[in-house]
Structure 1
Amino acid sequence: LIELFCREKPIDQDQLQTRYNTLTKERDQLQTSYNTLTRERDQLQTTYNTLTKERDQLQTRFNTLTKDRDQLQTTYNTLTKERDQLQTKYNTLTKERDQLQTSNNTLTEERDQLQKEIERLKQSSVEKGESNSLMTVLFDSLLTKARNVQLTVCPQGWKKLGSSCYYVSTESKSWEESRQDCRNRGAELVVINSQEKQVFNWLCGRKSYVWIGLTDSVTEGTWKWVDDTPLTTKYWNTGHGEPNGGGAENCVYFYSWTSDKGEWWDYDCSYKYKWICEK
């Protein structure tokens, strides 16, 4: 072994130095590359963070704009609906105005014709030497009526009978609620004080239950109309002994059978029926 060891050549110090220098240089290059990559990584991380922040800001702006757009769309839809409602009201008012104008023209023409007829009759009376006081009173009465012709045009959805307008509901409510609805319309529950007004088949149809403005809720057994007038003309269903409800039935509804006229029934005021308004 000693002999073998002695045979090996000793390591040259210069070679070792060269190898050391080479390794040192490679290490420094690797360190430089590492530093460069680390710096590039940090720059990329910074860029990434910046882009993420900008993306989040854009997302927030997008959400805000989307919300604003939805609010504007809602406002637009509301304004469009209000515009359409106003247009409908305008069309209705225009139609009512035209109807009023037509009725006014008709009434004016009728008044003028009445005045001409009165003057003609007066002239004829004078020519015939008639000075009867009754004739004079009649002429004056006709003249007053002609001068005081009043315009009566019913609102849309109402029907005219005589000098009054009538509205029949399409829904059902209690007697008090029905009366309040009529008041909200500038009217009252209908007062039936004549045979002409009792025949409501033409207005509400047969086999219809409708509240009318008659009650004894103030004093049991004392029936009064909503205008505080006492009951005189009566159309009770006597075949069933109406009114027969006592204190439990203080309001009256109109019911039309297959006959030409309907009859009255007293009933619980809280029950829900249709109703008729009059003005």
Structure 2
Amino acid sequence: MRNMDIDQVYANIGVLNPRKKDGVGQQSVHPYRVTTVFLGLLCVLLLTGINGIFLYQRNQLNNLTKVRDQLQTSYNNLTKERDQLQTNYNTLVKKKDQLLSETGMLNKIKGRHCPKGWIQFQSSCYYNTTLKKTWEDSRQDCIDRGADLVIINSREEQSFINQLSKLDKHIWIGLTDSDTEGTWIWVDGSPLTTKFWEKQPNNNHDKDCVEFIHKSYDPGVWKDRKCQRPNSWICEI
């Protein structure tokens, strides 16, 4: 009976503590965990790479922006220099043209010999008469002399004519609007630019011709008159 009890105890112990087989009962590692770890590491590497690329591209963009700004500044500076050079060039061209004009005038004056009885002023010669004729007849007299009625292009010339007209204070000049009313044209066909009107012209009663009126003060004035009015005149060549 005692032996049976002991056997029973051992039997119970065997049930309670069975022998473990090799590899059985140990916690196994599941494949999906390995995959998860691998994917996690891959994501970290990808994020690190993307971040590196982003930083690189941002630096490149910043560098390109700086280069663009520098190029824009250089372009603006070159544009200013070009504009300044163009201004200087235009100024030099004007000075050159002015010098050529003055040189031509000086050459004319140097080589000019006015006919007897004519008075020289700058590059022109002037003939003053005390006779009195209509505007048309006065002009014809100038044409017969190889000239035409005087054309006044500057204040200096206006002052000179004022000096010539001391004896006869009313002088015909080569200005008329007989072709088109209100459009004043010099006898050489050039338009009127320099003006010395005295509250004129009023164009009343077919006043299509212009007389120069001498004044004791510089430089004299103009008035429109009827062309049939008798006046003295000045010719110019």
Normalising by structure 1, what TM-score? 0.46
Match for 1:237: what amino acid? E
Instruction: Tell me which of 219, 222, 233 is aligned to 1:261.
Output: 219
Is it true that 1:179 corresponds to 2:139 in the alignment? yes
Percent identical among aligned pairs is 49
Q: Tell me: CA distance 1:207–1:179, structure 2 relative to 1, closer, same or farther (3 Å).
A: closer
CA contact (8 A) 1:212 1:254 kept: yes
CA distance in 2, matches of 1:188, 1:207: 19
Of structures 1 and 2, the one with the larger relative CO (CA 8 A, separation 6+) is 2
Instruction: Report what 2:153 is aligned to.
Output: 193
CA distance in 2, matches of 1:260, 1:267: 21
1:122-133 matched pairs, under 5 angstroms: none
More helix by share: 1
Instruction: Tell me which of 208, 228, 231 is aligned to 2:169.
Output: 208
CA contact (8 A) 1:152 1:163 kept: yes
CA distance in 1, matches of 2:203, 2:156: 27
Question: Counterpart of 1:180 in 2: which secondary structure?
Answer: helix
Instruction: Report what 2:56 is aligned to.
Output: none
CA distance in 2, matches of 1:225, 1:274: 18
Give the Å deviation of 1:259. Answer: 0.9
Is it true that 1:236 corresponds to 2:203 in the alignment? no
Give the Å deviation of 1:205. Answer: 1.0
Moved over 2 A (4+): none
CA contact (8 A) 1:250 1:267 kept: yes
Instruction: Report what 1:9 is aligned to.
Output: none
CA contact (8 A) 1:159 1:165 kept: yes
1:52-201 matched pairs, under 5 angstroms: 145=103, 149-150=107-108, 151-199=111-159, 200-201=161-162
**What is the alpha-carbon root mean square deviation over aligned residues?**
2.5
The alignment covers a number of residue pairs equal to: 138
User: Where in structure 2 are there 5+ consecutive unaligned residues?
Assistant: 1-91
CA contact (8 A) 2:182 2:203 kept: no
Give the Å deviation of 1:262. Answer: 0.5
Normalising by structure 2, what TM-score? 0.53
User: Where in structure 1 are there 5+ consecutive unaligned residues?
Assistant: 1-133
CA distance in 1, matches of 2:179, 2:133: 20
Question: Counterpart of 2:157 in 1: which secondary structure?
Answer: helix
CA contact (8 A) 1:216 1:223 kept: yes
Deviations 1:206-242 (A, max 9, x none): 661000000000000000000011111110002xxx1
CA distance in 1, matches of 2:140, 2:125: 17
CA contact (8 A) 1:207 1:258 kept: no
Match for 2:147: what amino acid? A
Match for 1:204: what amino acid? S
Give the Å deviation of 1:149. Answer: 3.1
Instruction: Report what 1:227 is aligned to.
Output: 188
CA contact (8 A) 2:175 2:187 kept: yes
Q: Highest CA radius of gyration, 1 or 2? A: 2
Give the Å deviation of 1:247. Answer: 5.1
Instruction: Report what 2:209 is aligned to.
Output: 251
Question: Counterpart of 1:186 in 2: which secondary structure?
Answer: coil
